Amino acid sequence: MKKKPFSKLYLALILLFLYLPIVYVVVFSFNESKSLTHFTGFSLRWYEKMFESQTMMDAVYYTIVIAVIATVVSTIVGTITAIGMSKSRKLIRESIVQMNNLPMLNPEIVTAIGLMLFFTALNIRLGFITLLLAHIIFCIPYVVLSIMPKLRQLDDNLAEAALDLGCTPFKALYKVIIPQILPGIVSGALIAFTMSFDDFVISYFVTGPGINNISTYVYTSVKRIDPTVNALSALIVLAITIILLIVNILPLIKERKTKRNEETI
């Protein structure tokens, strides 16, 4: 089968479109001046100012804390919910699935306004707690959606066999069922963390004065020229790159060790 003409060119243009803005931000994070169009010289001044800015450091702190807590809580709740759904009747299971999919199908602006009105109706002051609760609420459906395919692949006889062999229901849960669906749990947790870390629309509507995550802070900063945002973005890109390298390199190292052990045996 012959390759279509200009296929490599299309691929290059797509990659350029995706990665050129990221490279642009990283390069100009080292710019000596505030200019976002002319590179006047290499400097680390914006990184120094970023770490000196208490407001930006608070935004990073709230982002990480909320993302971690929301990931842990939503993963636990989503896992229990998914396991309960798998053991429920078909009508109940399908109803819960539809309810679970609804927040993901709704536009974020609708969810954001709904949560804001809900918290306001309950006289809950908008701030850290409402921001955390909102992130947990919209992360749970993604965890459930990631775990359900693994539960469908799970043999129902495994849990029954564990119970017959003397396991309590709780012991069978964490020694038999959870290890089998662990890849789905990990995938759901990673998606939840990414969604929480990256969210802007919902965060903007449910946060209060003095409580900002990175997305809302950047939104308020783009109205003026602030190169420290470029420095923060560059550090986030660096952290993500390191994580991706670790995730991709570790399996290769394990495979090589396994092959060496097999060869020595």
Q: What is the per-residue pLDDT across 115-149, written as a single tens digit (0 to 9) for each?
A: 999 999 999 889 899 999 999 999 999 999 999 88
What is the rounded CA–CA span in Å between residue 151 and residue 219? 40
Q: What is the per-residue pLDDT across 148-205, written as a single tens digit (0 to 9) for each?
A: 888 888 777 777 777 777 777 777 777 888 888 888 898 899 899 989 998 899 999 9
Instruction: Sketch the domain layout of the chain as residue ranges.
Output: 40-229
State residue 5's pLDDT score. 62
Q: Quick check: 263 pLDDT over 80?
A: no
Rounded to two decimals, what is the model's pTM?
A: 0.83
pLDDT level of residue 4 (50, 70, 90 thresholds) = low
What is the rounded CA–CA span in Å between residue 209 and residue 127? 7
Q: Determine the residue type at 262.
A: E
SS (H, E, C) 135-176: HHHHHHHHHHHHHHHHHHHCCHHHHHHHHHCCCCHHHHHHHH
Segment 203-213 shows an average pLDDT of: 88
Sign of CA dihedral 28, 33, 34, 40: negative
User: What are the strands, taking DSSP E only, across 54-159?
Assistant: none
Q: Identify the CATH number of the domain defined by range 40-229.
A: 1.10.3720.10
